[in-house]
Structure 1
Amino acid sequence: MAYSELNAPIRTIMTPGPVEVDPRVLRAMSTPILGQFDPAFTTIMNEVMEMLRSVFQTKNKWAFPIDGTSRSGNEAILCSIIEPGDKVLVPIFGRFGHLLVEICERYGAEVHTMECPWGEVFEPEAVIAEIKKVSPKITAIVHGETSTGCMQPMKEIGLACRELGVLLVVDAVASIGGTDVKVDEWCIDGLIGGTQKCLSVPPGMAPITYNERIEEIIQSRKKVERGIATDEDNQNVSGRPPIASNYFDLSMLQDYWGPRRLNHHTEATSMIYALREGLRLVLEEGLETRFARHELHETALVEGIKAMGLTLFGDGNNKLPCVTCIDIPKGIDGEAVRAMLLNEFGIEIASSFGPLQGKIWRIGTMGFSCRKENILFVLASFEAVLLRQGFQVNRGEALQAALDVYVGKTEKLVASRGSL
C-alpha cells in the first residue's frame, strides 16, 4: 500500500491543550541536529535552564525539562522524593489531583486526600489545617485545574508548608506562561510545567524546577557509582532506598544537565530547540505583558459567552485565566456542537471528565492560540452552531460584547498615551 505525504488539516485549536504552536517554534524545530555532548548543544541546554528560571521566577539551581509530556514531570519529581511509607497529602479539586494520587500510590506513599466539589477551590486555611493534622512529608497539589477551569490560591499554602517543614510540589502545567506563578515567593519546593499549553510548544517535554530541599533528598538516594554494576552497587551512601524509576531519576538527570555531562538517555534535540524558542518568545514578550494578554482575551471571550445567553461554570473568583468553562444548556447535545464546530469551521474546543462529562464545554485561550482573531472567530462560529442546534441565542450580541472589550482597551491605551 502506498501512503501519501502527511497533510494534517489546519485547525483553530481552542482546547486547554495542546494548543497552536507559534510558527517561529516550528521553524526552530527544523534546525540541524547536534550531538548531545557537542559544546554548541550544551550551550543551548544552559540557555534553556537560564530562561526557565526566569519564567518560573526562581533562583533555583535546577530548572530543566523532562523528556515526555507533562505527566513525566509530575512523576520525575514525585518518584525522586517519595520513599515507601512517606505520607503525602493531595488536595483534589479536579481530575489532575486524582492523577497525583495515583502516581504517589504507585511509588509506595501513604496518601491522604481532601476533596471539594469540582468547580470550587480550597480555602488555603482548610489545606493548612489538614497539613497540620496529617503531618505529611509532601503536599502535592494542582495550581490550574483544566478539568474545571479553576485556579488554587497557593502563596499561603506555600508559606505554611515551609514553616511546618513540609515539601510543596505543585502541578502548574496549565498555568505556567499564562498567569503569574512565583516559585520562590510562594515557597514552592518543586514545580512542574508543560510545553503544550501556555508556552505554545509541541507536546513532548515537562519543564521542572526544584530547590535544595528536594535536591538534598535526591542526593541522599543516589546510587554509588562504580565501573561495573553489582547488587551491592545498587545501594546508596545513606542506606535510603534508591529512586524507583531509572528514566525519571533526577539524580541521574542532574548529572547530564549539570557540568558533569554524564549521559542518561539520548536527549530530544529538536524539542530542546522548540522549548528554547518558546521560552525566548515568552521572555521577549515579557511576563507581565503576556499575562495581561491572556487576561484581555479571556475577558473578551467571557463577555461574549455571557452576551450570547450562556452561563459560565465554576467559581468566578478563582477562575483559571486561560480556561473558560461553559454550562451546556438543557436539551443541547454538547458533542454535536463540538463536532459541528470542528467539521464546519475547523475549530476544536473540549468537553470535560468525570462528574462534568457532558455537562460543560471548555475553551482554552493559551499561548499562541490566545489571539483576538481566534476569539472573534470562535464566538461567531459558536453562535452559528448553537442556532443550528436549536438554542435561542441572543443574535449578534456575542461579537459586540467582545468588540466592546477590545475597543475599550484600545481607547484606554490611546488615552494613556495622550496624557504623557
Structure 2
Amino acid sequence: MNGPSLPGPHLPGPIDPPARLLMGPGPVSAYPSVLRAMSAPLVGQYDPFMTASMTQTQQLYRQVWGTTNDATVLVDGTSRAGIEAAIVSLVRPGDRVLVPVFGRFGLLLAEIATRAMAEVHTIEVPWGQVFPVSTIEEAVRRVRPTLLALVQGDTSTTMNQPLDEVGALCARYGVLFYSDATASLGGNLFEADAWGLDAATAGLQKCLGGPSGSAPITLSPRAVDVLRSRQRIEAGIREPDDPDASDFVRSNYFDLGMILDYWGPRRLNHHTEATSMLYAARECARVLLAEGRDAVVERHRVAGAAMLAGVRGLGLQVFGDVAHKMHNVVAVEIPDGVPGEEVRAAMLADLGIEIGTSFGPLHGRVWRIGTMGYNAQQDAVLTTLAALEVVLRRFGCSVPPGGGVDAAADVYRGA
C-alpha cells in the first residue's frame, strides 16, 4: 500500500501577489488596517467576541448608511449577493418591479428581478446620462410597481443618479424603494433615512476600501414587514396549500428574514458567518467613521476632480455628463488610433498600475480610472497620470509634457 505522497517541486509556493496600484473601477487597493484585520484569529460563531463584533458592525454601518434602521447587517458574499438577497426577499412572484436603466448594473437588477419571477418593467436613457425625477415619476404612475430598483452609481458609465427626491416619490405611490450603492457608498453622499430608502446594498471593494466578499445592507421597518410576511409559512402560521403559499422566499441562503434572525438577539442559526470578512467589513466602516463620513466623501470629491483635470490636461476627452459623474471614477475616451487594451496591458505589466475598460457599447471605447478608498489620495492620482502619459507616448499619442500631473496638482493646491 502506498503511503502519503510527499511535497514535490511541482507544488506551488505560498501565495505571493505582485505589487499593484489598483486604479480601475474596482476592486481597489485595500486599507492596510483592513488587511491586518482579516489576519486576526478566528473565534466560534457564538463566541461572545464574535457576537459583540457583529453588533458593533451593525452600529458602525448604521452611521455609514445614514440610518437608524435596526435591520442593518452583512450578507456573506460579494456585492451581487446583497443585491440578490434584497430583490428575492422583497419581491413576490408576479410583483411589478420598475428598473430605470442607465448602465450595465441597471440591466443586472432587471435580470435578478426576472429570475425572482417578477413582472419587470424598464425605462432607459442613453449611457452617460441619468434620469430626471419627472421621468421616473411618469413611469411609476404608468407601471404602478411594488418595487423601484435603482442603481445610485453605475461604474459602467461612471454616472451618479440623484436619489434625494426619489424616496418621497415612492412614498406618494406606495412603492418600496431599493438602491444598489455598491460603487458609490463611502465616496459619494448617501442618506438612507433622509432620502426615504427602504433597502440599500453595497460591497466593500470600492469606496469602502476593502476586499470583495461582504455586502452591507440596510432595511427600513416597512421592508422588514414585507420580509416577515413572507416568513409566515415557515413559522407554521399558514398552511402549505394556502393560495398565498407561493410567495415564500425561494432562496434559503439569501432569505433576509432568516439572515435578520441570525443577526438579531435570538441568534437563530442560518449559516456560519464569514469571520474574516466580518472583521474586514467592521474595519472598513471604522476607518471611514474615524476619518469622518463627510471628510471621506470630500477626499473622494477632490481626488476625482484632480483625476478629471489630469486626463483633460493630457488632452483626453471624458465620456458622459460630467455634472452627474461619481466622485470616484472617470471614463476616458480612448484616442483614435491608440490600442486601448495594449495601453492597459503596458500600464499593468511595466508599471504595476491597473486601469479598467468597460462593458457593452463602451467596451474598447473608454478607459475607466478609479480614485476610491485607500487610493483616493494625491500620490496615487499623480502616479497614475504620470504613468499614463509615459505609456501614451510609447504608443505614438502626442500629449502635453507633464500636462496631467500639473493639472491634477493644481486641483490639490486649490482644495
- Report TM bin, short chain: over 0.9
One-letter identity of the residue aligned with 1:333 = P
> Per-residue deviation at 1:407?
2.0
2:305 corresponds to: 299
1:110 corresponds to: 119
2:72 paired with 1:66? no
2:403 corresponds to: 397
> Per-residue deviation at 1:404?
1.3
> Per-residue deviation at 1:193?
1.0
Per-residue CA shift, 1:48-101, capped at 9, x if unaligned?
Answer: 000000000001111111000000001101101111110000000000000001
Q: Which residue, out of 354, 362, 369, partners 2:360?
A: 354
Paired residue secondary structure (2:411): helix
> Per-residue deviation at 1:355?
0.5
1:179 corresponds to: 188
One-letter identity of the residue aligned with 2:224 = E
1:35 corresponds to: 44
- Mark the CA change 1:237 to 1:266 in structure 2 (over 3 Å): closer, same or farther: farther
One-letter identity of the residue aligned with 2:147 = I
Paired residue secondary structure (1:311): coil
Aligned counterparts of 1:371 and 1:121: Cα–Cα separation in 2: 27
Per-residue CA shift, 1:296-341, capped at 9, x if unaligned?
Answer: 1111111111111001111011011101110011111110110010
1:213 corresponds to: 222
Gaps of 5+ in 2: 1-9
Alignment of 1:256-295 (within 5 A): 256-295=262-301
Q: Which residue, out of 160, 163, 167, partners 2:169?
A: 160
2:132 paired with 1:130? no
> Per-residue deviation at 1:224?
4.8
Contact 1:119 1:315 in 2 (8 A): yes
Per-residue CA shift, 1:10-46, capped at 9, x if unaligned?
Answer: 1000011111011111111111111111111101000
Paired residue secondary structure (2:126): coil
Contact 2:93 2:116 in 1 (8 A): yes
Q: TM-score, normalised by structure 1?
A: 0.94
2:169 paired with 1:169? no
One-letter identity of the residue aligned with 2:80 = R
2:5 corresponds to: none
Alignment of 1:68-87 (within 5 A): 68-87=77-96
One-letter identity of the residue aligned with 1:153 = P
Alignment of 1:225-236 (within 5 A): none
Aligned counterparts of 2:57 and 2:388: Cα–Cα separation in 1: 39
Aligned counterparts of 2:233 and 2:143: Cα–Cα separation in 1: 34
1:406 corresponds to: 412
> How many pairs were matched up?
405
Q: Which residue, out of 386, 395, 400, partners 2:392?
A: 386
2:98 corresponds to: 89
Q: Which residue, out of 143, 158, 161, partners 1:149?
A: 158
One-letter identity of the residue aligned with 2:329 = V
Aligned sequence identity (%): 46
2:12 corresponds to: 3
Aligned counterparts of 2:99 and 2:212: Cα–Cα separation in 1: 26
Q: TM-score, normalised by structure 2?
A: 0.95
1:18 corresponds to: 27
2:374 paired with 1:368? yes
- Mark the CA change 1:234 to 1:337 in structure 2 (over 3 Å): closer, same or farther: farther
Paired residue secondary structure (2:148): strand
Paired residue secondary structure (1:155): coil
Alignment of 1:304-323 (within 5 A): 304-323=310-329
Aligned counterparts of 1:213 and 1:72: Cα–Cα separation in 2: 21
2:6 corresponds to: none
2:210 corresponds to: 201
Contact 2:99 2:121 in 1 (8 A): yes
